[in-house]
């Protein structure tokens, strides 16, 4: 593959760096609650951080060939759709935040797809369906990722799409060795969607799903990506690919049709922010859940978090109660803003947080909480980040939902369609009620941090409802507890589950607080005494990647999740 000699050199350098101990003594490592698995990666010309080392190398190769940060991000995303189909692919959606160094502006892209026109509340009522199923043809919404690629490329691209997609196409034809984490997820997805047509032919060519270290090829996906590279985005939404999806979905009893694909377009949006102790943290507005992170940060800002101490019951209790409050608003208000007036400005305001903060009992876990009194007019995932030599940075997240998605693999196209429409509510009075042409509530969220008007950090943390919680923990770890970019991601995390959901289900008896195993028994007992129900240490705690810009030295810092197969590398 073109540029692969460069990649080998980078791998050697990064592996050498990972053996170094973190040098920052800014917090207590005695408990093992917070530690760095490796040092931060530092480079002057460019940086890429993805959940797959081969995808990171592809991104670097694109940068070295003269590509922009966006070109490299698209190339890495295309490769991840091949190498981690258990979390993303061109059958899913995409969101991005881009720092344009030339224009000195931060912009957002919502490349999520809409419900098919035939997907109405009446359809489900007439068929006696009281909840949208997680798999099969019914939860499939329009896949927005490919249009997202071309929107980003039209504005920020330098290389041709043929050049950008070439590495993923070559790996799809020649094969790549499956990593341990992805082999595990392949197995679990086989149990969920292995019975659907096309799964065995696409993902079990040797009679079983790919195993650790096994070379896996997807020539069907290679052909699909080649058609997109040659003919452009319209081949996917208006050409032969769209026609194949239409025919397959009609055959399977789904609602997605050619006209739904042909009508799709992404939306450029303005990121929303709040200031947390001097850091301007940016998220995208709904239909995603990003502003929940901003709401939680606003609530936490009213406390002296640093004095509580990382890993203390006092801090974790405060964090969980703030999360519960934000998620009640998430359940009530977050939805497609083309269909409903979401009071974003109010929800992320400091005055609103001050009012809501009064509901937090410092000594007792809440069992149920109300959503805020806001006047409302009715009306499994990958994350990657890339920065280039010109100072451009992109924060990009992309997903199928529920791992590999719906199980619907159209014909011989080589990818699974997402099942994101499962997240619609069937309650006619709910903001997120299903409607034809409406975008469902979305979990995937990219993040960005500015400081004093300058770009600081591009980061994300994948994992469903864990994402806003994870974003908050990363920011708090760095701002309040003094951790560096790598330590902030490696530190032990919590994940509170059971809050009220945008589909209509309500928090019952306070939910369940999951803690990673490194938290102490003393902390666990104190949380239980406060009334928290503790769950497993083996749950989903997300996957983190980040890039930080050091303006003074003119270098990038990179960090990659210890819980995944990922890699941060620069040049």
Quote the tokens at residue 128.
Answer: 């006696």
Beta-carbon contacts of residue 384 (< 8 Å; ≥ 6 apart): 48, 49, 50, 51, 55, 59, 73, 76, 77, 80, 396, 397, 460, 545
Instruction: Calculate the CA dihedral of residues 420, 50, 237, 380 and round it to 10 degrees.
Output: -10
Tell me the three state secondary structure of residue 56: helix
- Indicate which residue of 50, 381, 503, 523 is catalytic: 381
CA distance 238 to 99: 31
| CA 433 from centroid of its chain's CA atoms | 23
* Total Cβ atoms within 10 A of residue 562: 16
The verdict on whether 381 is a catalytic residue reads: yes
Distances from the Cα of 174 to the Cαs of 10, 55, 177, 202, 203, in angstroms?
Answer: 22, 15, 10, 15, 15
Beta-carbon contacts of residue 296 (< 8 Å; ≥ 6 apart): 319, 322, 323, 326, 468, 469, 472
CA distance 381 to 402: 8
* b/e code 11-34 from CB counts within 10 Å (16+ = b): beebeeeeeeebeeeebeeebebb
Quote the tokens at residue 196.
Answer: 């659907």
CA distance 325 to 296: 8
| CA 538 from centroid of its chain's CA atoms | 20
- Give the position of tokens 């992309």: 398
Quote the tokens at residue 266.
Answer: 């992404």
Full DSSP string of 539-554: S---EEEEEEEETTTT
For residue 513, what are the β-bridge partners?
496, 534
* b/e code 311-345 from CB counts within 10 Å (16+ = b): bbbbbbbbbbbbbbbbbbbbbbbbbbbebbebbbe
Exposure on the CB side of residue 197, measured as CA atoms within 13 A: 9
* b/e code 141-167 from CB counts within 10 Å (16+ = b): bbbbbbbbbbbbbeebbbbebebbbbb
- Provide φ and ψ at 298, rounded to 5°: -60, -40
Which of the residues are catalytic? 381
């Amino acid at each position: 593959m073109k540029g692969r000699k460069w990649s080998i050199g980078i791998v050697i350098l990064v592996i050498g760096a990972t053996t170094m101990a973190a040098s920052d003594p800014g917090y207590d490592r005695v408990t093992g609650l917070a530690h760095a698995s490796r040092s931060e990666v530092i480079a002057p010309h460019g940086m890429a951080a993805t959940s797959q080392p081969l995808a990171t190398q592809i991104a670097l190769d694109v940068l070295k060939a003269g590509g922009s940060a966006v070109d490299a991000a698209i190339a890495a995303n295309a490769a991840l759709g091949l190498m981690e189909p258990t979390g993303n692919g061109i059958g899913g959606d995409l969101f991005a935040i881009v720092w344009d160094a030339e224009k000195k502006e931060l912009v957002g892209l919502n490349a999520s797809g809409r419900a098919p026109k035939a997907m109405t509340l009446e359809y489900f009522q007439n068929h006696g369906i009281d909840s949208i199923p997680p798999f099969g043809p019914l939860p499939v919404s329009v896949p927005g990722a490919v249009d997202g690629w071309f929107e980003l490329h039209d504005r920020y691209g330098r290389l041709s799409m043929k050049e950008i997609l070439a590495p993923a196409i070559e790996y799809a034809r020649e094969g790549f060795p499956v990593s341990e984490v992805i082999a595990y997820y392949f197995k679990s997805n086989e149990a969920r969607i292995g019975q659907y047509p096309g799964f065995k032919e696409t993902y079990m060519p040797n009679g079983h799903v790919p195993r650790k270290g096994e070379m896996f090829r997807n020539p069907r996906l290679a052909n699909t990506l080649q058609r997109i590279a040659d003919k452009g985005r319209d081949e996917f939404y208006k050409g032969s690919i769209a026609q194949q999806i239409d025919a397959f979905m009609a055959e399977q009893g789904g609602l997605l049709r050619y006209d739904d694909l042909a009508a799709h377009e992404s939306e450029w949006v303005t990121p929303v922010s709040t200031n947390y102790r001097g850091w301007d943290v940016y998220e995208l507005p709904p239909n995603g859940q990003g502003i929940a992170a901003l709401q939680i940060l606003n609530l936490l800002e009213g406390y002296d978090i640093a004095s509580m101490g990382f890993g203390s019951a006092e801090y974790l209790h405060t964090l969980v109660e703030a999360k519960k409050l934000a998620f009640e608003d998430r359940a009530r208000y977050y939805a497609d803003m083309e269909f409903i007036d979401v009071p974003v400005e109010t929800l992320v305001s400091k005055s609103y947080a001050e009012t809501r903060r009064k509901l937090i009992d410092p000594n007792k876990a809440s069992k149920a909480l109300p959503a805020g009194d806001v006047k409302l007019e009715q009306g499994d995932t990958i994350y990657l980040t890339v920065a280039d030599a010109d100072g451009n940075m992109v924060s990009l997240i992309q997903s199928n939902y529920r791992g590999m998605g719906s199980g619907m693999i159209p014909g011989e196209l080589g990818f699974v369609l997402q099942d994101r429409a499962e997240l619609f509510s069937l309650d006619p009075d709910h903001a997120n009620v299903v409607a034809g042409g409406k975008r469902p509530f979305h979990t995937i969220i990219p993040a960005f941090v500015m400081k004093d008007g300058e770009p600081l950090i591009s980061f994300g943390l994948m994992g469903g409802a864990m994402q806003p919680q994870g974003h908050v923990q990363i920011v708090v770890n760095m701002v309040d507890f003094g951790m560096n970019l790598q330590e902030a991601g490696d530190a032990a995390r919590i994940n509170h589950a059971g809050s009220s959901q945008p589909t209509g289900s309500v928090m019952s008896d306070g939910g369940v607080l999951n803690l990673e195993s490194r938290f102490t028994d003393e902390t666990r007992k104190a949380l239980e005494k406060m009334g928290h129900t503790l769950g497993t240490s083996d749950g989903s705690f997300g996957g983190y990647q980040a890039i930080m810009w050091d303006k003074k030295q003119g270098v990038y810092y990179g960090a990659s999740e210890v819980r995944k197969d990922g890699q941060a590398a620069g040049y």
